[in-house]
Every structure is written in structure tokens, then in C-alpha cells.
Structure 1
Amino acid sequence: FQTMYRRGYMPVTQFQGDQFLAERLATQISGPWLVAHIQKFAPADFEYGIMPIPKPDDYQGAVYTYGDPKNISIFNTTKHPRAAWQFAKWLISRHADQRLLEICDQIPMRKNLLSDSSFIAYFKAKPQMKMFALQAPFTRGVDGVADLKEIFNIISQEYEASVIYGRRPPEEAIERAAKRVKVIREWNR
């Protein structure tokens, strides 16, 4: 990433408007929701591709990414526990996931999306979404940690200092972030 910022392939600041669609940016890190946005707002001759998150050439193993999964809760005070249970079961069904894809272009947290007969037609019609389906098994949510906002802020600051502005080597940024997070965690025990 450091090289990508240094060479100007990725923006250092936020721009007004969609700079990717304006063809002022070569790359943009985003999620499956961007595909519908591009299809709606891009010029007719706009060409783009989707690729996995960059990783070191010598890295072996799965590449994990962040997802924003939602939880389903049924409160014990509900007046309709059976109906709530039926709805919860439907909400995680293949049919509901198929509708989620068709209506929202959101990738369900489900294994084997590309080989499951419920989803084959969708991915045949929208091949640009396949990369996101391949990543789905390696997508993780964020644990409920009280200090998470502060921890993410620290990670963002050290990432920017190292990768975007080149003020410190990545190893030093990681070490600094770890020390700062440790202070936050110990302070808030």
C-alpha cells in the first residue's frame, strides 16, 4: 500500500464527488455495494475490474477482510415468539439470501456461494460480483469491544503515518499501535 500511495495510485485526501468514476483515481478499495453505484452513475464506456485486496507476493494463506454482519435477536418479552422464530429462520434461508443478492447486491455470509444452485444464476448474470463471493468465507465481523472506536482510531493514525505519509516504517507503526492499544486496554479495565 505504501508504494501505491507514493506513486499516486491511491488518494491521500478525500475529494468531492466520485473521483473513481471521474477517472482521476486508478483504484478504489470498497465493497460489493460499489458495483451497483458504478453501473448507475458511470459513463456508458466506463471500464473497470474487481480484484482482491493486495497482499505481499510471498504471503501464503487466506486473506481475511472486514464485514459488517448483523445479529438476529428474539427478545423473551415478545408477544409472538413463534412468528419471530419463523422470521429469523427465514432471514438466514437460502431464499432470503438470494433476495438479498438480487435486491441489494449484498453478499450473504454463506460458504460455497458460487457452487450453490440457489445463487448460480445471480453470479452468471453479474460476474463482477464473483470476487466478493470468493472472499465471503474469509470475512469477519468485529467483536463487541468497549474500546474498539479508540483502537480503530489508533490503527488508522499509525496506518496513515506509515503507509500514506511515509513518516515511519510499517514495523514501527505496528509496534507503536500495539503499545498504544495496550495502554487503552489497561486504562479501561
Structure 2
Amino acid sequence: MVQWEFDGSKRKIRGLRRRYKTLVNDLTDLTKTMPNPNDYGLGYWHLHLPFSQEYIDSKNTPNKLRRDIMQKLIERVDYLINIKTKEQSDYCIYAIVSLPNLFDSQIVVFPDKSWFDGFFERNSKEQKWIPLDSDRNIIKEWNLVLSSDLKVRGFKEIISDDDINYEGEIWFIGELN
């Protein structure tokens, strides 16, 4: 599990409970109906967390809140999967949970499963996704609840660019091949 650096003096963040309730309401409103992935000019639909990065990725943000945000993403993915119509049966819906930068997490709707061809193969000089060991499990590590039909895949992400060097984890949770 990716750990946050902590100097021992965790200060309470003012208004965090209120901001979390707003996040839940916004996330629920934005995923109340099935988005059409073809309406957004990208060929797919995605929704980043409607939450301030300074709060979600702060070292003072309790892990319980991070866990609750991950759980809410999973619940909204499950909800969208359950409201698919016959015409939307080919849609592929999943959450991306990014750690330690939870702010980069999102919900994605692809128009069909063909989008996954080669999607998980990232092995360039600038970006690598290395599959995490099968004994790693974000669901157990964070005590998340997952419906039995959702799948989980985790990767160590390494980004090396001229001005960025980053290592983290990306977890895909939802309808995966």
C-alpha cells in the first residue's frame, strides 16, 4: 500500500466533513444518469473528483476520508453499471483510483470493450505500467466493499519526463476484460 509521508503533527483540516458531503452530493448528481461517451468529443466520458486537491491530497487528510472517497467511486461505478439500458450494454464502466495522489482518480465510461485492446500495455520511456503482484489487493488494504461482479487490476505507474519523475499506483475497478 502506498503510504503518505507524515511528520507526526497531523492537524485537523477545517470544513473537511462539509466538503466531503459536497463531494458526495456532486458525485451523485454528476452520475445520476448514464453519460453518452460519444457526446464529449473524446470518444469516451470521464469524471475527475469534484474536490479540491489541497484537501484530498493533504498529509493532514485522514485515511478514513480517503477510504470513503474510494468507496464512493466504487458505489457510483456500480450504480452506473446497474442503470445501463440494452442500448448501452456494450459500455464499459470503471473507476481509476490513483495513489498516493487520490485527486487524480476518476470514473470512466468507454463506448465498448474494444477500447481496452492494448489499453493496459504502457511500456514507453515516458510512462510504464507494471502489473502489481497478485497478492496485492486495494480492496483488502483499504477495507473497501466490492460487489462480486466488479474486477480489480493494479499497476505501479512510473512517469519519467524532462521535468516530471513520478511513481505511484493506479487501480482500475469495474468492468474490466
TM-score range, shorter chain: under 0.3
- Choose 1 or 2 for highest CA Rg: 1
Larger helix proportion of the pair: 1
Q: How does the TM-score come out when normalised to structure 2?
A: 0.22
